[in-house]
Amino acid sequence: MMAVAERFEDLKAAAQATNWRGRSGRYYALVALPLDLFALENDDLYLLARGTDVLWVGTEAEVVGDAARRAAFRTALRFANAAFRVGAPAGEVDRMTMAWDLEGAEPVFGLSLA
């Protein structure tokens, strides 16, 4: 029964995902978050956007540990109308690569899970 519950959660998350294509051409399934309840958590990578423009990509650790990144986050949060969770990168290089890729990302419409 637990496998069914886990599968349901996976399907639910996939249904709520928004597809974006990074500047490299890689596709990302981002999970939309309510902006009014948005909070940085864990080691996940987050994206703040206004329409189709990416305003900020980063992690909680970057906001806490780097004053320049914190200022950029605050500015982006002021203008953003959408927030997304990307997920936890596998390591530091993966985080930097994904952040660079997503900074130039654009939403992709018309993709489906089928």
pLDDT tens track for 64-99: 998 999 999 999 999 999 999 998 888 899 999 999
b (16+ CB within 10 A) / e for 71-97? ebbeebeeebebbbbbbebeeeeebee
Asked if pLDDT for residue 106 goes beyond 80, the answer is yes
pTM score: 0.80
DSSP-assigned letter for residue 35: G
**Region of poorest pLDDT, from 13-22, 23-32, 78-87:** 13-22
How sure is the predictor about 57, in pLDDT bands with cuts at 50, 70 and 90? very high
Asked if pLDDT for residue 24 goes beyond 70, the answer is yes
